[in-house]
Homo-oligomer: A and B are copies of this chain.
Amino acid sequence: MWRTIGRQSGPVFRIPAPFPGPAAVVRRYVLGSQCYFHSKSSDNFEALATSAKLPEAKPVPPVTPSQRITVNDILERRAKSGRLVAPTAAACDADMFKAPSTNKPFAKKWDDHHLSKEAISREPCKLKQAARFLKTPGIISLGGGLPCPEYFPFSSLSMGVSIPPNFSESSPTETITINKYDASQGNTKAEYDLSIGLNYAQAHGSAQMMRFVTEHTELVHSPPYADWKTCLTVGSTGALEQALRLLCQKSRGDTILTEEFSFSTALETATPLGVKVVGVKMDSEGILPSSLDKILSNWTNARGGRRKPHVLYTVPSGQNPTGATQSIQRRREVYAIAQQHDLFIIEDEPYYFLQLQDKTKPTPENVDQFLDSLIPSLLSLDTDGRVLRMDSFSKCVVPGSRLGWITASSQIVERFIRHAEVANQGPSGFSQLILHKLLDETWGHEGYLKWLMNLRLEYTQRRDTLLAACEKYLPKEVATWSSPKAGMFFWVNLNHQLHPNASTKSILDVEEEIFNSCIKKRVLVARGSWFRAEQDKPPTGLFLRATFAAATPESMTEAIKRFGEAVRESYGL
């Protein structure tokens, strides 16, 4: 989906295909510019809280080619920047780790039409702000109540980790170790250690881990506006609640739009905030642009006095629960409607890298080909800065890290950080240390991308196993499904009208009957009705969700056999 358009002893640019404009408008990144926070030597205890300055830039036409730099460009930039010096509770900013965004436009500024009063009223955390004085050379802090690392009962942390190119569990592992004072007192090249990572930190996360996710975001998405930022999160579950509190307000009668079947936990997040959810019709490519436009164009206050929705929550790849994946064309259409109706978009993408292998296309052989093969994200199309993208390590590394990140415009990320300061103070230091040691120091960007390349092939096999089982065991006379192009979920549609008791048993009744029958037959599936965006409306179809993430291939096949039996029994087949 991306193609490489040039390499001139510098960065490579990839643009979404089909490329909408002349190659000549592609702009170059400048490497090696002054970068705050990097230094060949430093005795600063605390680093600068001020944001790095962005270069001056002229606005550019909204439709521009997206751009990407390569792993080698990152390595080159890091070599020029020198060792990252980011001690305890160091404030940082994604700009410190990005290539200068020459000529890119700046993001749109959002006002109290889009932001909540709660978000607007937040003040910076005074104690975290005071940390900026710690950059004063020779200063002694009697300020913040940060415990001395001498009272941390951990001297080192080691882990056995998988190593490219053989990631299977039976392949040899490598043992890597983080010592308490590797970076602060040692003479090694280490940039992060237990004495830093296990103390209090800034709510946006450590500079060390923010550098990794910022570079990764630049490699994969290359957001097309200048002032994009990142902020680590405690995972996308928490990030979504923060995003909704940032954008929505009960007293304003706010409504958000989402897929007509949507992630149930997302719905459970919105409802107690007094936010109404309205579902947009879908097909196998997810949100239908015509439905989205119709809802917005025809919105009247008659809908319970609620104002026109200003937020869209969407999972573009491997959508939960339907498994639908938006094509690049679909994403462009959704984004254009968002521009037309001034919608802010929350792009929730836990399954982005689980875009499964299309058997009609060659399997990527290297990371460049892999990145080229990915459908561009909404973030990579976002010339306005109207997307808040949520990324997560839950599906790609481990769910228990409770670590993810958001990418959005500077204004949005700043308000998000103000909330994170009181909502959680950022993710666990253990999680940050361990993921940094693995992803940044051991695997590097290339190793992580290779891990992801391997993972999607594993999930492709799992999908195919479930697909084969469905073909074999589900009654096609009443059940239909399509093969998901991404993610972990299979969405099975049963024709309610063909049920022998359709006239007396509602969709929900039959769904419940089959679900309970499945439990009796010892298989757990998820009921489609759990995911209905509008729980107060009658259901429009009978669905069940099955995942190919959790069970072994043999068990999955057996489970689908049992599920098929439950369906046949209910339908009298």
Contacts and interface: CB of A to CB of B under 8 A. Distances in A.
Interface of A: 117-119, 121-123, 125-127, 130, 133-134, 136-148, 150-162, 167, 169, 173, 197-201, 234-235, 237-238, 240-241, 251, 264-265, 268-269, 271-274, 320, 394-395, 397-403, 419, 421-434, 438, 451, 455, 458, 488-489, 519, 522-526, 530, 546-552, 555-556, 558-560, 562-563
A525 B273 CA distance: 39
9 contacts: A123-B268, A125-B268, A136-B519, A139-B524, A141-B551, A142-B548, A142-B550, A153-B161, A241-B423
Contacts of A151: 455, 458
A246 to B, nearest CB: 11
In the complex, the 4 A-B pairs of residues with the closest C-beta atoms, listed nearest first? A400-B429, A428-B428, A198-B400, A155-B160
Contact of A428 (B142, B430, B524): B430
Contacts of A150: 169
Contact of A399 (B146, B154, B398): B146
A160 B156 contact: yes
Given A151-B455, A424-B424, 16 more contacts: A140-B556, A142-B547, A142-B556, A142-B560, A147-B394, A147-B399, A148-B549, A154-B438, A155-B160, A199-B398, A200-B400, A240-B422, A268-B421, A401-B429, A402-B425, A431-B431
Nearest to A531: B126
A346 to B, nearest CB: 14
B422 A402 contact: no
Contacts of A419: 272
Contact of A425 (B159, B238, B426): B238
B423 A547 contact: no
Nearest to A400: B429
B147 A173 contact: no
Contacts of A167: 153
Contacts of A397: 152-153
A334 to B, nearest CB: 24
Nearest to A171: B155
A197 B127 contact: no
A423 B269 CA distance: 8
A433 B401 CA distance: 11
A400 B201 contact: yes
Nearest to A120: B272
A550 B141 CA distance: 7
B398 A429 contact: yes
Given A241-B422, A271-B121, A523 B142 contact: yes
B426 A423 contact: no
Contact of A320 (B145, B522, B548): B145
A551 to B, nearest CB: 5
Nearest to A488: B145
A153 B162 contact: yes
A136 B521 CA distance: 10
A143 B524 contact: yes
A133 B548 CA distance: 18
A422 to B, nearest CB: 4
Contact of A146 (B431, B519, B549): B549
A398 B134 contact: no
Contacts of A122: 268, 272
Contacts of A552: 148
Contacts of A145: 320, 395, 488-489, 547, 549-550
Contacts of A434: 154, 157, 430
Contacts of A123: 268, 271
A148 B65 CA distance: 38
A438 B549 CA distance: 32
A157 B154 contact: no
Contact of A157 (B159, B523, B549): B159
Contact of A198 (B144, B162, B399, B519): B399
A192 to B, nearest CB: 12
A428 B455 contact: no
A423 B421 contact: no
A557 B254 CA distance: 56
A347 to B, nearest CB: 18
Contacts of A395: 145, 147
Given A160-B155, A430-B400, A549-B148, A272 B519 contact: no
Contacts of A133: 519, 524
Given A399-B199, A400-B429, A430-B428, A525 B143 contact: yes
A10 to B, nearest CB: 33
B251 A523 contact: no
A126 B422 contact: no
B197 A522 contact: no
Given A522-B138, A523-B139, A424 B399 contact: no
B431 A238 contact: no
A130 B400 contact: no
A392 to B, nearest CB: 11
A158 B155 contact: no
A273 B430 CA distance: 30
Contact of A154 (B161, B197, B560): B161
A147 B550 contact: yes
Nearest to A146: B550
Pick from A240, A241, A268, A274 the residue with the most CB of B within 10 Å. Answer: A268
Contacts of A549: 145-148
